[in-house]
């Protein structure tokens, strides 16, 4: 049960004015656009070793409710479509997901940046389209490093903690590559309720605004700014003697416009089971109100000879937990692109991992994007490497390589979406 906090009369008046304007703008953005989406030259890739003709989503009909909502937004506006993309280091860096996010938001509207986390403070790589500042020390851990049968991690798979009673953490939506700044008005903090946690205030120093707490439950708190901002600071506030820490599982940033919000969540080295073991993960994912959940694992399972039975068990465990809390969400799995076995040459296990993911998706009736086959299949990593599309470790890809994969995923979604549109006409 989420508690709703009602602000005062002036704030309420401002809130409704802003809500009306954002809905109106969102509808104007979409209402006269034809339902079909045309891809451009910028959305295509030019490598002959990639099987672009076979770049399609299997069982795409299972995604029809998702496509229905996309079409309603494109032609009439007023809809928010939430996509949650979960995976390992390939997803964590945001290079692949950035390509998909920016293109979907171009065609269906931009509802905000989505999920973010201070990965730098956690000693991890992360996205480059926002900045983090703090005035205190933090400790951190993640679900991949903790091997307990059940762990206390939430939506990010990471946990950030400080004992500073005046600790602050600032998020700035400024892209380090382009210096582009984006605005937002909704700021959701994920943390499990604990009497030892400090109270939280959310403010923007540049506009001297304090955000209003509007919704809260045992796993998250949502704050709203009266006017859109480009940054927000979380401030700890001690109000009780028992309070001794501030723990954060993640943040979601939205602008309250209609359109697509694309959340990307990843942990270096993660496997299906690492997120399945995270006690609060599925519950907090539900707060993102997903219409589509994409699971992109397999590379790390493929770094060892993972038994098929165990892989199928881990996939089923994670997806069932997520579906329990997000029953309306559509599910899509992806296979991993080919890569090398760390330090020893071609990976002999990825073919089996990909086949097992395909088999699981087919048997369970889930949509599947078969990146392994589309990108060339067994030993195709040699082509990626010779074309400068892989990193020096031969397991990860270069920024250009991830951009190619992101374009391919976008193309497959649009192909399936356009087929849905045509079926309606």
The total number of structural domains in the chain stands at 1
Token pair 């250009």 in the structure block, residue: 400
Residues 6+ apart with CB under 8 A from 42: none
Closest by CA position to 246, among listed 255, 236, 254, 256: 236
Q: Which domain holds residue 208?
A: 3-424
Q: What is the model's pTM? A: 0.93
Residue 315 has which token pair? 């996939």
Q: Tens of pLDDT along the chain (425 residues)?
A: 667 665 554 454 454 444 445 444 544 544 568 999 998 888 988 899 998 888 999 999 999 999 999 999 999 999 999 999 999 999 999 999 999 999 999 999 999 999 999 999 999 998 999 999 999 999 999 999 999 999 999 999 999 999 999 999 999 998 887 888 999 999 999 999 999 999 999 999 889 999 999 999 999 999 999 999 999 999 999 999 999 999 999 999 999 899 999 999 999 999 999 999 999 999 999 999 999 999 999 999 999 889 999 999 999 999 999 999 999 999 999 999 999 998 678 999 999 999 999 999 999 999 999 999 999 999 999 999 999 999 999 999 999 999 999 999 999 999 999 999 999 98
Give the Cα separation of 68 and 416 in Å (integer): 12
DSSP 339: -
CATH of the domain at 188: 3.40.50.1110
User: What are the backbone dihedrals phi and psi of residue 201, each rounded to the nearest 5 degrees, phi first?
Assistant: -120, 145
Q: Is the dihedral of CA 395, 400, 403, 405 positive or negative?
A: negative
Residues 6+ apart with CB under 8 A from 178: none
Query: Between β-strands 292-296 and 330-334, what pairing exists: parallel, antiparallel or unpaired?
Result: parallel
Q: Is the separation of the CB atoms in 264 and 101 below 8 Å?
A: yes
Whole-Å CA distances, 93 to 99, 116, 126, 151? 12, 11, 5, 24
Per-residue model confidence (pLDDT) at position 44: 86
Give the Cα separation of 357 and 384 in Å (integer): 22
Helices (H), 246-380: 272-276, 281-286, 308-325, 350-364, 371-374
Give the Cα separation of 200 and 262 in Å (integer): 26
3-class state of residue 342 by DSSP: coil
Torsion angle of alpha carbons 74, 76, 78, 80, nearest 10°? Answer: -30
Give the Cα separation of 376 and 329 in Å (integer): 30
Q: Is the separation of the CB atoms in 212 and 202 below 8 Å?
A: no
Q: Is the separation of the CB atoms in 125 and 119 below 8 Å?
A: yes
Per-residue model confidence (pLDDT) at position 15: 46
Residue 187 has which token pair? 């700021």
HEC per residue, 50-109:
CCHHHCCEECHHHHHHHHHHHHHHHHHCCCEEEEEEEECHHHHCCHHHHHHHHHHHHHHC
Closest by CA position to 357, among listed 345, 340, 371: 371
Give the Cα separation of 222 and 239 in Å (integer): 20
């Amino acid at each position: 049960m989420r508690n709703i906090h009602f602000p005062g009369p002036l704030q309420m008046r401002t809130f409704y004015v802003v809500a009306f304007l954002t809905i109106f703008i969102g509808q104007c953005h979409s209402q006269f656009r034809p339902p079909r989406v045309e891809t451009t030259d910028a959305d295509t890739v030019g490598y002959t070793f990639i099987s672009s003709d076979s770049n399609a989503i299997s069982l795409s009909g299972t995604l029809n409710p998702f496509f229905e909502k996309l079409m309603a937004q494109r032609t009439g506006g007023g809809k928010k479509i939430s996509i949650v993309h979960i995976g390992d280091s390939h997803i964590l860096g945001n290079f692949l997901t950035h390509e998909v996010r920016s293109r979907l938001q171009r065609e269906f509207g931009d509802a905000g940046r989505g999920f973010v986390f201070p990965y730098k403070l956690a000693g991890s790589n992360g996205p480059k389209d926002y900045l983090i500042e703090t005035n205190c020390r933090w400790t951190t851990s993640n679900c991949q490093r903790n091997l307990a049968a059940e762990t206390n991690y939430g939506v990010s798979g990471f946990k950030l903690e400080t004992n500073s009673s005046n600790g602050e953490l600032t998020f700035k939506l400024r892209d380090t590559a382009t210096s582009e700044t984006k605005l937002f008005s909704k700021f959701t903090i994920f943390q499990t309720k604990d009497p030892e946690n400090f109270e939280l205030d959310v403010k923007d120093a540049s506009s001297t605004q304090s955000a209003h707490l509007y919704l809260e439950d045992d796993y998250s708190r949502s704050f709203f700014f009266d006017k859109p901002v480009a940054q927000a600071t979380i401030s700890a506030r001690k109000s009780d003697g028992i309070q001794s820490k501030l723990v954060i599982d993640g943040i979601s940033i939205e602008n309250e416009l209609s359109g697509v919000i694309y959340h990307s969540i990843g942990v270096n080295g993660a496997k299906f089971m690492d997120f399945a073991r995270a006690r609060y993960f599925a519950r907090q994912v539900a707060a993102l109100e997903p219409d589509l959940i994409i699971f992109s694992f397999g590379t790390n399972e493929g770094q060892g000879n993972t038994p098929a039975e165990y892989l199928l068990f881990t996939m089923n465990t994670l997806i069932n937990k997520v579906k329990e809390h997000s029953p309306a969400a559509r599910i899509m799995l992806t296979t991993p692109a080919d890569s090398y076995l760390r330090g020893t040459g071609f990976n002999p296990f990825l073919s089996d991992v990909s086949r097992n993911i395909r088999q699981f998706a087919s048997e369970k009736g889930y949509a599947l994007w078969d990146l392994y086959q589309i990108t060339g299949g067994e030993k195709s990593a040699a082509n990626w490497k010779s074309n400068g599309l892989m990193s020096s470790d031969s397991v990860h890809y270069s920024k250009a390589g991830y951009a190619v994969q992101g374009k391919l995923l976008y193309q497959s979604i649009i192909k399936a979406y356009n087929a849905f549109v045509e079926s309606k006409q």
